[in-house]
Structure 1
Amino acid sequence: MEAIFIYIAKSAVLMLLFYCVYFFLLRRETFFNSNRWFLLSGLIISSILPLLSYTKIVWIDATQNLNTNIESALLSIPEKQNSDINWNYVILAFYGIGLLIFLLKLAIDFYSLNAIIKGKKVKQQADFKFIDTQENIAPFSYFEYIVYNSSLYTATELENIIEHEKVHSDQNHTVDVLVSRFFSIIFWFNPIVWLYKKAITQNLEFIADSEASKKLSDKKAYQYTLLKITAHENCVAITNHFYQSLIKKRIVMLNKNQSKKRNSWKYYVVIPALAAFVLLFQIEVIAKEKQQTVKVSGEGKSVEVYKISKNSTDAELKEIKDKLKSIHNIDFEVSDIKRDAKNNLTSIKVDIKNGSQQTQSIQTSTGDVIQDFGVIVITDKEGKKKVGIQTSEEGKAKGSKVAVSKRITTLNLEKDDSDASENSNIIITNNQNSKTNTNVNINSFTSTKTDSDTNTNISTVVTTDKNNTVTTKIITKKDGSTIAISNSTKGKVKLGNQLIIVDGEEMPENFDVETLNAKDIETMRIFKGTEAITRYGDKGNNGVIEIQTRK
Structure 2
Amino acid sequence: MEALYLYIAKSAGLVILFYCAYYFLLRKETFFTTNRWFLLTGLITSAVLPLVSYTKVIWINASPISNLNPQEIPFQPIKNEIHEINWIYVISLIYGVGFLILLIKFALDFYSLQSILKGKKIHQQADFKFIDTNENIAPFSYFEYIVYNSSMYTDTELQNIIEHEKVHSDQNHTIDVLLSRAFCLLFWFNPIIWIYKKAIVQNLEFIADKEAAKKLSDKKSYQYTLLKITTHESCVAITNHFYQSLIKKRIVMLNKNQSKKRNSWKYYVVIPALVAFVLVFQVETIAKEKQQIVQSGNGEIKSLDVYKIKKTSTDADLKEIKEKLKSIHNVDFQASEIKRNAQNQLISIKIDIKNGKQTAQSIQTSGNEAIKDFGILVTTDENGIKKIGIQTTSEQTNSSSKTTKQPKVAISNELKNKTETNADTHSSTSTKTNNNISTNISTFVTTNTNSNASTKVVTTNNGSNVTVYSSTNKTPLGSQLIIIDGEEMPAGFDIEDIDNGKVKSVSVYNGTNALAKYGDKGANGVIEIETRK
Whether 2:295 is the aligned partner of 1:291: answer no
Aligned residue number for residue 476 of structure 1 = 460
Within the alignment, does 1:547 sit opposite 2:530 as a pair?
yes
CA distance in 2, matches of 1:204, 1:385: 66
- Letter in structure 1 aligned against 2:379: I
Separation in structure 2 between the aligned mates of residue 446 and residue 495 of structure 1, nearest angstrom: 17
2:479, 2:424 → 1: CA distance? Answer: 25
Q: CA deviation at 1:295?
A: 3.0
Alignment pair present for 1:374 and 2:377? yes
Q: Which amino acid aligns with 2:25?
A: L
1:377–1:386 Cα contact (<8 Å) kept: yes
Taking the aligned partners of 1:528 and 1:250, their CA distance within structure 2 comes to: 81
Structure-2 separation of matches of 1:487 and 1:314: 33
2:398 paired residue number: none
| 1:520 CA displacement | 7.7
Q: Give 1:116's aligned residue.
A: 116
Measure how far apart 1:114 and its partner are.
1.1
Superposition deviation, residue 387 in structure 1? 6.4
- Please give the per-residue CA displacement for 1:114-134, whole angstroms capped at 9, x wherever unaligned: 111111222222221111211
SS where residue 161 of structure 2 aligns?
helix
Q: Which residue of 1 aligns with 2:266?
A: 266
The one-letter code matched in structure 2 to 1:525 is S
Task: Tell me, in whole angstroms, the C-alpha distance in 2 between the residues paired with 1:497 and 1:443.
Answer: 11
Gaps in structure 2 of 5+ consecutive residues: 309-317, 337-349, 366-370, 396-404, 428-437, 490-494
Secondary structure of the residue aligned to 1:11 is helix
Distance across 2 between alignment mates of 1:364 and 1:484: 18
Residue 421 of structure 2 is aligned to residue 443 of structure 1 = yes
Structure 2 matches for 1:383-402, cutoff 5 A? 388-389=387-388, 391=390
Pick closer, same or farther for the CA change 1:500–1:115 going to 2, 3 Å.
same
Unaligned runs of 5+ in 1: 321-332, 340-345, 353-357, 398-431
Instruction: Verify the 8 A CA contact 1:99 1:186 in the aligned structure 2.
Output: yes
- Residues 258-279 of structure 1: CA distance to partner in whole angstroms, max 9, x if unpaired? 0001111111111121111111
CA gap 1:18/1:547 in 2 versus in 1, 3 angstroms: same
- Give, in whole Å, the separation in 2 of the partners of 1:531 and 1:270: 55
Q: Which residue of 2 aligns with 1:11?
A: 11
Structure 2 match to 1:334: 331
Query: Superposed, which structure 2 residues align to 1:167-316 within 5 Å?
Result: 167-295=167-295, 300=299, 302-307=301-306, 311=320
Alignment of 1:313-324 (within 5 A): none
CA distance in 2, matches of 1:259, 1:62: 62
Per-residue CA deviations over 1:329-364 (Å, capped at 9, x if unaligned) read xxxx4235799xxxxxx9773426xxxxx7434579
Offset of 1:69 from its aligned partner?
A: 7.5
Task: Check the 8 A contact 1:66/1:391 in 2, yes or no.
Answer: no
Separation in structure 2 between the aligned mates of residue 471 and residue 533 of structure 1, nearest angstrom: 18
CA shift at 1:136, angstroms?
1.2
Who is 1:135 aligned against? 135
CA deviations 1:222-275 (Å, max 9, x no partner) are 112111111111110000011111111111101111000111111111112111
Conserved in 2, the CA contact under 8 Å of 1:123 and 1:131? yes
Q: Deviations over 1:37-91 (max 9, x none)?
A: 1111111111111111122222222222467788x69995845846654322222
CA shift at 1:182, angstroms?
0.7
8 Å CA contact retained: 1:180, 1:197: yes
Residue 22 of structure 1 corresponds to 22
Write the letter of the residue equivalent to 2:410: N
Give the direction of change, closer, same or farther, for the CA distance of 1:171–1:348 in structure 2 (3 Å limit): farther
Which whole-Å CA distance do the structure 1 matches of 2:219 and 2:294 have between them? 86
Show the counterpart of 2:341.
Answer: none
Which of 524, 531, 536 is the equivalent residue of 2:506? 524
Q: Give, in angstroms, the shift of residue 8 of structure 1.
A: 0.7
Secondary structure, aligned partner of 1:42? helix
CA distance in 2, matches of 1:496, 1:117: 87
User: Cα offset for 1:171?
Assistant: 0.8
| TM-score between the two structures when normalised by the length of structure 2 | 0.73
- Contact 1:526 1:544 survives alignment (8 Å): yes
| AA of the residue aligned to 2:174 | T
Change (3 A) 1:519 1:235: farther
Q: Is the 8 A contact 1:498 1:540 kept in 2?
A: no
* Contact 2:482 2:488 survives alignment (8 Å): no
> In the TM superposition, what is the alpha-carbon distance from 1:546 to its structure 2 partner?
4.3
1:34 equivalent in alignment to 2:34: yes
CA drift of 1:213 comes to: 1.1
CA deviations 1:149-183 (Å, max 9, x no partner) are: 12222222222111111111111111110010011
C-alpha deviation, 1:107, in angstroms: 0.7
The residue matched to 2:30 in structure 1 has which SS?
A: coil
Q: Deviations over 1:169-228 (max 9, x none)?
A: 111111110010011101111112111111100100100111111111221221121111
> Hey, what's the Cα distance between the residues in 1 that align with 2:526 and 2:425?
24
CA contact (8 A) 2:139 2:242 kept: yes
The answer on whether the counterparts of 1:442 and 1:462 sit within 8 Å (CA) in structure 2 is: no
Identity %: 52
2:441 match: 457
Conserved 8 A contact 1:50-1:282: yes
**1:427 corresponds to:** none
* C-alpha distance in structure 1 between counterparts of 2:56 and 2:16, whole Å: 28
Cα deviation for residue 519 of structure 1 reads 6.2
